[in-house]
Copies of this chain bind each other. A is one copy, B any other.
Amino acid sequence: MKRTELPFDPIGEAHRQWAAHGWEESADAMALVTSIMRVQQILMARAESVLKPFGLTFARYEVLMLLLFSRRGALPLGKVGERLQVGAASVTNAIDRLESAGLVLRRENPSDGRGVLSQITPAGRKLAKRVTDEMNADLFGSLELSQKETTLVFERLRDLRSRAGDFS
């Protein structure tokens, strides 16, 4: 991946072009959407570089944390997908990998013969905590945004998610 630093903001440039081509109305929104895409890309790259030494991807880390936080350390696969907003196939794949690594295991769901429970193992709990310490130090702790700004942006993005139908 190319990581050359540009001498100007490429999204600011796109914004100018957008307006110059008669799309003034939506130039600001375009710039915001493009920014979100780019920031996500930057943050994801950092997250994966923290997680890689542990053999985890961000998707698998999210699953692991969800199970760590769950009341019994176990959830039906369907619930996992619902909470993380990913498809059933992705959940199956993530659990496969986590299971191979001994971090979770599959169990029958006593209350639904069709369903499968994913359960975090002691090794999974231990790793989740250790990895989170790293994530807090290297990613979340170095955002370079003030407390006030962080909260402010979070709230606007929460509005976006809510209106998009993510939750009610």
Q: Contacts A136-B23, A140-B30, A140-B33; is A82 near B154 (CB within 8 Å)? A: no
- Determine how many copies of this chain the complex contains: 2
Counting contact residues on chain A (CB < 8 A from B), the size range is: 35 or more
A108 at interface, CB cutoff 8 A: no
Q: Is the interface of A mostly helix, strand, loop or mixed?
A: helix
Residue contact B43 to A37, C-beta cutoff 8 Å: yes
A36 at interface, CB cutoff 8 A: yes
Interface string of A125-156 (1 = CB under 8 A from B): 00000001001100111011101011111101
On chain B, the residues within 8 Å of A10 by CB distance are 83-84, 166-167
Residue contact A33 to B167, C-beta cutoff 8 Å: no
Residue contact A161 to B39, C-beta cutoff 8 Å: yes
On chain B, the residues within 8 Å of A65 by CB distance are 14
A2 at interface, CB cutoff 8 A: yes
Residue contact A153 to B157, C-beta cutoff 8 Å: yes
Residue contact A153 to B32, C-beta cutoff 8 Å: yes
Other A-B pairs beyond A14-B69, A25-B141, A28-B147, 7, CB < 8 Å: A14-B65, A23-B136, A30-B136, A33-B43, A33-B47, A33-B139, A144-B159
